[in-house]
Structure 1
Amino acid sequence: MTQTALPLEFETYMRNQVAVGEPTDMNEMVFAYIPDLDPGIPIDRTQGLPDPALWVYQQNMDQVGKLGDNALVHSVVIANDVAEFTFNAIYMHDKTTPKSCGMVVHTADQTKLLGQALTKSLMHQYLGAANIANITIDAATWQIDYSARLLGMDEERRLTCLDNYGHTAYVDGFDVERQGDPTKYKVTPGVVYIGGLRAVLADEQMLTITNYPNGIYVDVYRDGSPTSKWVNVVELKVSQTPLADYVDGSGKQHYVGRLAGLDAAGLVVDWRAVSHDKKLMESMVGMVVPFHMEGEKRGWLDGKGGEVSRVVDKTLWGYAQESGLVISQALKDADPMTYAMYFGDGDGVTTFTVPNHHLGHFVRGNPSSVAHGDTQGDAIRPVRSSIGLSRSVEAISVSDGGAFSDSTLTPQTPAGHTNETHSSYLTLIFDISKVHPVSNEVRPYTANLSIKIHRGWM
């Protein structure tokens, strides 16, 4: 059983407030534990607040609203992290004014537990209450709404996943397989993080696609109502133009991840970015590595000077700009050997080109006398030799074992001397191929593999 009363001191407080043109203000709720309290006994209206030693908890009012003209509802929400306390009496008062107790409630013992949120609302009824307290808000409009806090928690969790996984990271599944009917493509169940939302494709899905080339994308958004469980909704979409994150007509934020491309023949090209630590992937962007396999490898581009999208490979494009080695595409195309290690600016708007490591360059740390990124032409150290001859030498031979070939002295007749012969002309042949292999390029022993550059995602 519960007893309520409007103390006499409130009537005095109310008259004083009205006299000076001020509204009544029940701004604090006090919880107390009164020993030996019998909640079945009517409350003595002459009492006000109990001895503060009996107070077990107090809190400012969270909401006040009117119920018609003659009643007000005062409410507090006690958070779940407030320590446990037991009470059997509740009071309202103006904490700025002594002897202003506006309501007393006696009840059976109740305990607020740690980890439990508790809402208490008291209806304060007297003639002209809404006008005297200057309350114009209807109580029906301010029932506690936790949606803002819950949405904030959802967003914080999404951002945490985004920090860990990046925009798109496939954890498992989502294999795209072409079927016996070449227009049918099966997508297997799987898990992917897109935009920080964990998207689960619970069952395999079959897509019918007749136009090529084309692309398959995963679209995920969060949906629910204030009274329902919120879930991440997953949809597969097919588009011949690139898809990106967007907000739909109802205001829902959609996050879109690339899944697979279909080439001109309808063959599947895997676009999936696998789950890895985002910071690790970003630290690898621009890394140049030799591979034994040619062709496409997830997360890597062939280092052959190819053109790529600034949107799809925005991480690599950012790296290129930071490197300071981006030049106009016209300049790069005009002298590909000299500018092999530079990025080209592509069409100047939506694309760029990567360095070309397949033109025969050898990469080293640039010496202090050479600009970063520059190409030096081929060269070898100077090769010098000398040989001493005497004018009286009748014949000479050069022993093998070096770059010189055997040669003999050739008799010559000086001009104007028809009958006189002198041994004064000697031919020596120098050929470095007698010592080293030669080619149309200078190179050490060379292993020729596929050079690829990391895109900054997998």
Structure 2
Amino acid sequence: MSASITLAGESQIALKQSLQQPLIVTQFIFAKVPGLDPTKPLDRAAGKPPAEQIVHVYTIPEKNAGYVNPNQVVYSAQLGSDIGDWDFNWVGLEDADGILFAASSVPLQQKRRNIPPEQIGNNVTRNFLVAFDGAMQLTGVKIDASTWQHDFTVRLAGIDERQRLAIRNIYGRACFIGDGLKFEKSQTGYQLHPGLAFLEGIRVDIAQPMIIPDAVPNGKISLDVCLQRQMNDVVANWRVVFGEQREYTDPAGASHYIIPLADFESPTVVDLRSTQPITGSLIEYLAARNGDYQGLRARSTTKADVGLGNLPNAISDDPATNSSEIVASTAALNKLQKQVGDSMTGMVTGFAISWAPEGWLKCNGAAVSRTTYARLFAWLGTHYGAGDGSTTFNLPDMRGLFPRGWDDGRGLDPGRAFGAYQDMMLQSHNHGASAGEVGNHLHAAWTDAQGEHSHAAWTDVQGNHQHTAPRAQNNNVGGGSPNFTTANLQNGTTAPTDWAGAHSHNVGIGAAGAHGHNVGIDWAGAHSHAISVAAAGGAETRPRNLSLLFCIKY
């Protein structure tokens, strides 16, 4: 990974160069810094993390320092599986004076020690490439890095070249996207318009206008494009050149390609770019491309090529013809499809799915656009509701209902308006009921035995009164009331007794013994008894059914 030389490191470089002393980098420092964002540049003015954040210090062996070129040196830390366990997201280089010379942040990494069989350790190698003028001489590194590290230079160069050739096969020698890299007049002179181009398989992307600072001579204006090594990468490099130019290979072995941009005869500019109006991905652009291309096979395809040699050169827009000598055109097929679709507009049917298929709307009474569904509106109008009265209309609502054929004058459902809702109903009817006749009969009855008992009796109170006695034949009535006289008896009249006063007479009733009382019940004659019938069923009348989604064709 590349390291950012700290401000202290830059000062150390200047100091060592002025004192003509070597700059000796001695150790790697690994740390876990909370909240560190590896996508953001490090603060070059910051020092080492606090001691509690440093997880490991690695002393660099002399053989682990090598040079790439006179201005680039690399330091390598090789951590075996016997080291760990710790995590890190920050790595720094420290020199012999204890100065933090360079630093870099990385996504959180794990270093684990091998503890068989519980844990498998890992090996970690971290390389720091630092670059500054005279780096090899100042650090005293004398080992070629290729002797202790794999040299992928040749391998990567081959990969870069294969990728360039693959892109060239797609875009050709030069493909400018729209106005990208167009030579044009600017407010202060001339410039290249920002944009994208693929030149000899090299992607050239200019984000801002590329100002041409010098006076522009008359003649051809071209772009010198190459893939050039920069630090430890290979990137596209380009510059504007004037006049007739030849392609060449520079001393570093990079091939330079000369791509014409314009012919300039002040103030006239003739654009020489080969452009394409590509605004998205290439595959989408090609798929959507239309036009008449002379090179396409279709231009010269004959009937014999596709096995239609016996057909005449005739097409028809009449969808009604079945002639085997007529080839239907797309217009005819579209017309036929429209006729089929139009004939179904307003059709209602049930679907065994819970959503409306394409070309259909749910029959749910919703208000829909009169313009979007103009044909359906022309057929239905506001029969099922006027919507908002101006821009929408309502669909029929079939939710929870059974469809029924419109009577249309037959008389089975008289007086019923077309498309009108009808509530549930049961046809008026009677239920017959009867009970079996049992004829003249008696119903048995009885009283319970009460055991031996007596019945209380009484006489009513008569008030103060006299008792009369019959006339006697004898003059002497023994034991009679003193109120009786001989004269009364002789006269044959009743003789009053003395006043008894208000009183009652006790009545005694003898015990009847344990007995029962017979009860007689009259004959009822032949008769029947009323029967009550209990209600049955639920909240509605319905046959066996299956719920479907009713939709209407628009």
TM-score, length-normalised on structure 1? 0.29
Which structure: greater strand fraction? 1
Larger Rg: 2
* Structure with more contact order per residue of length (Cα contacts < 8 Å, sep ≥ 6): 1
TM-score, length-normalised on structure 2? 0.25
